[in-house]
Structure 1
Amino acid sequence: MARPLLKSMATVSGLTMVSRVLGFARQMLIAGIIGASGNPVADAFWAAFRLPNMFRRLLAEGAFQAAFVPLFQRHSVKGDMDGAKAFAEDILAWMIVILTGLSAIIMIFAPVFVSILTTGFRDDPERFNLTILYTRIMFPYLACMSLVGIYGGMLGAMHKFAAASAAPLLLNIALITGVLAFADAPAEVTGLAAAWSVMIGGLLQLGALVLAATRSKLLLRLRLPRHSGAAKRMLMLGTPGFIGAAALQVNGIVGTNIASREAGAVSWLMNADQLYQLPLAIIGIALGVVLMPAIGRSVKSGDETGAKRTLNRGVEVALFFALPATAALMTIPVFLCGALFQDMAGDLTRAIGAGRSAFNDTDVAMVGAALAVYGIGLPAFVLQKVFAAAFFAREDTKSPMTFALVAIAINATISITLFPTMGFIAVPIGTVVAAWVEVTGLSWRLYARGHLRPSLTVLSRIVRMVLVAGGLGWLLRIAMAHQEMLAPMAFDQDWILLFELVGAGVLLYFIATILTGGVSIAALKGKAAKA
């Protein structure tokens, strides 16, 4: 992988990691103050938050850029910045009109959308009405994220990733501030504060991106929508691209609907989602954001060999970071959840005078069970982002859409079929099976077209990474069997022990992969010439 690509990924990953750490703090505070199982406020907030959060991931983390960036680069790579900005202004005009109308419709008909999203809440008036209220407060966040997506796409196309990657920090800061300010209030008031904080966080993110664009001389003018050729091309390219990149989020919506039939399940899944999304965001989303323009530049310059090399290296880097996370999620999920949401959250809530954590043992067990299943799918979730970037860079948005629709059907079928006997755990099972089917289809099509050609060296490295990650999982199992003996080293605090295990595990994995040839220092520094 070329050094600029690794540098760009480091920028995106580093800022994303800081944002997700703040996201953990946010999640722990809400779990500790409001709770999860049996709490209508928690279920209602997370159900309502699903829609704007989904659009944030779609518009600010890949789906919008999948169609926007290649078309913007058609002008920018030739030095035609006036043409690039004119195209962006056309898209901005249409987005404002469409999203203003969409936001108004959803706010007016919120009961209908909430009924569709959370079918199980219909028989619980308190959960249902709270979800409607929170949805109406939070949904205008969508308009902010759409504009953030445009400015983030432009800055990314110009190799400036920092502002867009740092913007989610502001949402987490706003939420943490809002929840802390009303920590001692009744749960209903704290929920309202959290909902309004989402809206405020969206405005702060938009302001940050506008400021960054102004400094880069990319500030867009407002104009009336017009039927330009570029806008039509964006619509043709963007529609299947949006559907394809939205598969994971649509699967989440399906999961929320099914889980709403079981009290507490929406909150359990949202907490598990937050945990596995950390490595997914740091690895998969960061790689996807960086790979698409990098592969696109190679393709547009006729360097297919360079494009394949970049993709191969992207797969290597993705699995190098994803596999140890998978090992941890699969082997110590309950301990991980208890350490974060119960032990650490309890310390936080006591520190602010809100008492012990409201996250109970049942919550820990349920979130841990879901997290273990999601761990099996983490490599697939990460590779989805990598392979999709290879299609989007070639302006092929139909192939990812095709496999995404298949994945949605598989996920819904499995979740609905298994739910009556297995309960909410059917949702992550369906999501994981669908993800592996989708990533298999994407890789097969890339291989068939000659865009993915991993060498024997690359395949050998991947096998060694898998073996080392398996060894790491085995060591974590042993550590859990001797948890009481290790406790004094962590001052009898589970969350301190967790951080010690993570630190030791990362170090051991890094050393072992180098010693076994799973990765080389030269490759990590971007000095490897061949993939």
Structure 2
Amino acid sequence: MPEDQRDAAPASERPASAGAGHIEDAGGSRAAPASEDPTRSGGRLALSTAFFSFATGLSRVAGLVREIVAASFFGVSGAMSAFTIAFQVPNLVRALFADMALQGAFVPVFTDLLERGERREAFRVASSLFFLITLVLGGITALLVLAAPAVMSLVAPGFDDDPALRDLTVALSRILFPIVVLLGLSGLVVGMLNSFEHFSVPALAPLAWNLVIIGALVGLTPAFPEEDQIYAYAIGVLAGTVVQLLLPTPWLRGRGGRLTLTLDWRSPQVRRVLALMLPVTITLGLINFSLLVNSFFGTLVSDQAPAAIDKAFRIYMLPQGIFSIAIATILFPTLSRLAARGALDDVRRTMANGVRQIGLLLIPSAAILAVLAEPITRLVYERGAFGAAATDLVSEAMFVWAFSLPFQGASLLYSRTFFSLQRPWTTTALAGGSLVVNAAVALALYRPLGISGVVLGTVVATIGLSLAQARFLGRDLDGVEARQTASAIVRVLAGAAALALVAFLAWRVLDEALGRSLAAQVASVGAGIVAGLAVYTGVVFALRVPEARQIARLVAERLPRRR
């Protein structure tokens, strides 16, 4: 049966709960009991993550293609920086009030109601929130459109000296602000589907978003005068966001309820979600505010700096999105369910295993981004308006970004763990401190180090935040399996060091031999990555990294069934 039809079965036919790593879309495997052997549940996490990562990977590759197309049209020009700033403001508002913030507060409550068999009440809560999102975020969007000149001057002070660039930023922001309400509604729909452990279609919705934008860039950009072509990008983002909302909505059918435009202020569960949203909103907003901090100081470095930092961040987010966001997304409903049962030991085991999986995947990714920053940037972006000077700027930022990659992944899962425990205020305070560190380091270093100094502020803040989160979660969960995690990470670091050396040498040899044509770059960069990953795989298995062995064991168990 096709996965979409299988997943549309009535909710009453599904198990009411799931253990760590269960994913309905990955073949219908039944949930493990909460007390299951963590090695086997870790294997299921690996399998579930593989399915979700594949879907997310398609979206990220499409996003990279989108960036390549945009870079070929706009490079790191002032117009591209204007778009970057204009997009980041509604994106920050989205983080504060819309999809991820809403999911962080909504999923634990919705999952708790499902766990107790109160499906109709769960849908009543969701319907009330649907109405509130439409009303409140619609009002915020209208206010932002009216106040766009003041908002843009606040976040991009460096543009005040260039009235044309400032006006362009304002105009683009007015096109983009409506995505706030659309993403809020989309976040609710995705949160509901994730609570039912349906991940595939929500993971593919961003693919559709990217494809619509690519279509707009290719189809609409030539239709505008040269000085106005950046408007095609903004129109594409708005159209893609509409599609992103509409695509997953039909999969709510057959779940035992339906969304209606009703508002039940008396529901204690609605009030509970709203109460949780305050700290969750502040936490995610503070974390995402670091991007605006980068843009703020970037405008003080040069007109090209904000766009260059953003281009580097897009590549940085490729492994982040494929691996750590996949793990955190899959585990969040499970962590919420275990927390609702009071099974804190299982919460700790599930979280710690997820952190080790993130380290296994993101530490080698960081090594690749660091040692191959320049050739990867050249391969991905350098064409059209994006020249060698832009490659230097972006690769400089990406090299620095790389050192925070595994810490950012761990922090994402730690935040979801706090949310699942419905104890978000601790991570809120930590995120506030992280933002202060970010701004302080960037302020101290942007003059002497330029782009590197700006990005270094985020790197230092991210590392500090993840370590602080782990310490405070250890108090709540009676530990975070620190020794077991440290043992695995040390072995992973050894493999990553070997990867970095082999990947760089393989790329360097082929680069000198083949030259810099597009095909030659694909061959040299691809061969370097493949050679490095082959060595990394051999090292982590030779050093008996448990999480790598989980994956191998699970694959070995499943292969005979498929013959």
Q: Same fold (TM over 0.5)?
A: yes
User: 1:367-406 to 2 correspondence within 5 Å?
Assistant: 367-406=394-433
Aligned equivalent of 1:34: 74
Aligned equivalent of 1:167: 205
What percentage of aligned pairs have identical amino acids? 25
Q: 2:539 aligns with which of 496, 509, 512?
A: 512
- AA in 1 matched with 2:262: R
CA contact 1:514–1:520 (8 Å) conserved in 2:
no
Q: Distance in 2 between matches of 1:491 and 1:189?
A: 30
User: 1:170-209 to 2 correspondence within 5 Å?
Assistant: 170-185=208-223, 186-209=225-248
Aligned equivalent of 1:123: 161
Pick 1 or 2: higher relative contact order, CA cutoff 8 A, min separation 6: 1
Q: Distance in 2 between matches of 1:215 and 1:35?
A: 47
- AA in 1 matched with 2:405: L
CA contact 1:44–1:130 (8 Å) conserved in 2:
yes
**Cα deviations by residue, 1:428-478 (Å, 9 ceiling, x for unpaired):** 110000101111110111123334332644432221001110111122232
Call closer, same or farther: CA 1:229–1:245 in 2, change over 3 Å. Answer: same
Q: Distance in 1 between matches of 2:482 and 2:79?
A: 52
Q: 2:115 aligns with which of 51, 54, 77?
A: 77
* TM-fit CA distance, 1:25: 0.4
- AA in 2 matched with 1:204: V
- AA in 1 matched with 2:258: L
Q: 2:392 aligns with which of 360, 365, 371?
A: 365
Aligned equivalent of 2:14: none
Q: Distance in 1 between matches of 2:499 and 2:96?
A: 33
Task: List alignment gaps of at least 5 residues for structure 2.
Answer: 1-37, 556-563
**Cα deviations by residue, 1:112-161 (Å, 9 ceiling, x for unpaired):** 11111111111111211111111101110111100011011111111111
- AA in 1 matched with 2:319: P
* TM-fit CA distance, 1:491: 7.8
* TM-fit CA distance, 1:269: 0.8
Aligned equivalent of 1:229: 268
Call closer, same or farther: CA 1:230–1:190 in 2, change over 3 Å. Answer: same
* TM-fit CA distance, 1:416: 1.8
Q: Distance in 1 between matches of 2:517 and 2:538?
A: 24
Call closer, same or farther: CA 1:141–1:498 in 2, change over 3 Å. Answer: same
Is the deviation greater in 15-24 or in 48-57? 48-57
Q: Distance in 2 between matches of 1:303 and 1:364?
A: 50
Q: 1:238 aligns with which of 254, 277, 284?
A: 277
Call closer, same or farther: CA 1:266–1:235 in 2, change over 3 Å. Answer: same
* TM-fit CA distance, 1:183: 4.6
- Which SS does the other structure have where 1:263 is aligned? coil
Match status 1:211 vs 2:250: yes
Aligned equivalent of 2:335: 295
Aligned equivalent of 1:154: 192
CA contact 1:490–1:497 (8 Å) conserved in 2:
no
- Which SS does the other structure have where 2:477 is aligned? coil
**Cα deviations by residue, 1:225-264 (Å, 9 ceiling, x for unpaired):** 6353222222221111111122331000111122123111
- Which SS does the other structure have where 2:422 is aligned? coil
Call closer, same or farther: CA 1:525–1:161 in 2, change over 3 Å. Answer: farther
Superposition CA RMSD, Å: 2.2
Q: Distance in 2 between matches of 1:301 and 1:229?
A: 19
Aligned equivalent of 1:269: 309
CA contact 2:127–2:261 (8 Å) conserved in 1:
yes
Aligned equivalent of 1:351: none
Match status 1:523 vs 2:550: yes
Q: Tell me the TM-score normalized by structure 2.
A: 0.86
* TM-fit CA distance, 1:312: 1.5
* TM-fit CA distance, 1:51: 2.6
- Which SS does the other structure have where 1:182 is aligned? helix
Q: Distance in 2 between matches of 1:145 and 1:326?
A: 30
CA contact 1:76–1:84 (8 Å) conserved in 2:
yes
Call closer, same or farther: CA 1:60–1:226 in 2, change over 3 Å. Answer: closer
CA contact 1:31–1:359 (8 Å) conserved in 2:
yes
CA contact 1:41–1:191 (8 Å) conserved in 2:
yes
CA contact 1:60–1:152 (8 Å) conserved in 2:
no
Q: 1:22 aligns with which of 58, 62, 67?
A: 62
Aligned equivalent of 2:51: 11
**Cα deviations by residue, 1:359-405 (Å, 9 ceiling, x for unpaired):** 01111001001001000111111110111122111111101101000
Match status 1:104 vs 2:131: no
Q: Distance in 1 between matches of 2:74 and 2:296?
A: 21
- AA in 2 matched with 1:383: A
Match status 1:414 vs 2:441: yes
User: 1:42-53 to 2 correspondence within 5 Å?
Assistant: 42-53=80-91
Q: Distance in 2 between matches of 1:148 and 1:452?
A: 35
Task: List alignment gaps of at least 5 residues for structure 1.
Answer: 347-356
Aligned equivalent of 2:351: 311
Call closer, same or farther: CA 1:297–1:92 in 2, change over 3 Å. Answer: same
Is the deviation greater in 116-125 or in 490-499? 490-499
Q: Distance in 2 between matches of 1:504 and 1:121?
A: 45
CA contact 2:108–2:337 (8 Å) conserved in 1:
no
Aligned equivalent of 2:381: 341
Q: Distance in 2 between matches of 1:513 and 1:298?
A: 31
Aligned equivalent of 2:561: none
